[in-house]
């Protein structure tokens, strides 16, 4: 994939970081988008450069229209084009619906759903023909766990946007897909859970383990690479059989 350019949001940690480093190893020049953790984003850039790749980090709140526009503009200025966009930025505050935490609901929608919409909008206008757009949903949609209301609602919206955008980009040979991981050993997933809860969740999948970030990064690599060109308007549930 030498000469190809990828933007990865939420790339300072977790799945986004693993995806950015994997795409760098595949030969992509990578724009490492991040929210607040500059030091971790720069570490991801260093990891890509140590593999012989090209990368730079740029702060961008995906819920901000101006930030998302700036992210894409800087990518075009630095690398000349954009071929792949991976929108991995997301948050997961958990709260029972009955608690009525409107602030947490609004923050979740602003990052997960509005953020996807804004990234999709810029990608649709700027991607080279033959490009790839990859969003992130969640396998938790199928489980309807208590306290996950805002999170799964936002991700259900993401899945709908994937199907609509795929149809809107008809004729340009651009694929639009989502990955819906099950439990993955990221800070976002592990925070607030006891070892007992984590062990219980690991048993839900027939493969009986928590996913690794590299499991998901490999799927990003597939969708972004030449072998993923016939996969379009799909939600790939990468979860070890969890749902």
Q: Catalytic residue numbers?
A: 151
Does residue 111 contact residue 151 with C-beta atoms inside 8 Å? no
User: Helix (H, G, I), strand (E, B), or coil: what is residue 5?
Assistant: strand
In angstroms, the CA 131 to CA 4 distance is 10
- What is the DSSP track for 39-81? HHHHHHHHHHHHTT--EEEEE--TT-HHHHHHHHHHHHHHHS-
Contact yes or no for 82/76 (Cβ under 8 A): yes
CB crowding 18-48: b at 16 or more within 10 Å, else e:
bbbbbbbbbbbbbbbbbbebeebbbbbbebb
Residue 160, SS3 per DSSP:
helix
Q: How many residues does the chain have?
A: 243
């Amino acid at each position: 994939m030498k000469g190809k350019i990828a933007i990865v949001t939420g790339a300072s940690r977790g799945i986004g970081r693993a995806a950015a480093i994997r795409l760098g190893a595949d030969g992509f020049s990578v724009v490492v988008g991040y929210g607040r953790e500059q030091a971790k984003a720069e570490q991801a850039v260093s990891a890509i450069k140590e593999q012989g790749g090209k990368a730079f980090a740029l702060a961008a709140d995906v819920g901000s229209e101006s930030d998302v526009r700036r992210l894409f503009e800087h990518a075009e200025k630095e690398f000349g084009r954009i071929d792949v966009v991976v929108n991995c930025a997301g948050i997961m505050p958990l709260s029972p619906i009955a608690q009525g935490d409107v602030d947490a609901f609004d923050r979740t929608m602003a990052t997960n759903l509005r953020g996807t919409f804004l990234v999709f909008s810029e990608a649709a206008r700027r991607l080279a023909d033959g490009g790839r757009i990859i969003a992130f949903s969640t396998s938790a949609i199928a489980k309807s766990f208590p306290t996950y209301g805002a999170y799964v609602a936002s991700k259900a919206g993401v899945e709908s946007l994937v199907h609509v955008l795929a149809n809107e980009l008809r004729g340009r040979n651009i694929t639009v897909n989502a990955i819906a991981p099950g439990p993955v050993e990221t800070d976002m997933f592990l925070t607030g859970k006891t070892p007992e809860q984590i062990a219980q969740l690991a048993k839900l999948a027939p493969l009986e383990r928590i996913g690794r970030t590299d499991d998901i990064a490999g799927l990003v690599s597939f969708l972004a690479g030449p072998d993923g060109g016939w996969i379009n308007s799909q939600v790939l549930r990468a979860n070890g059989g969890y749902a």
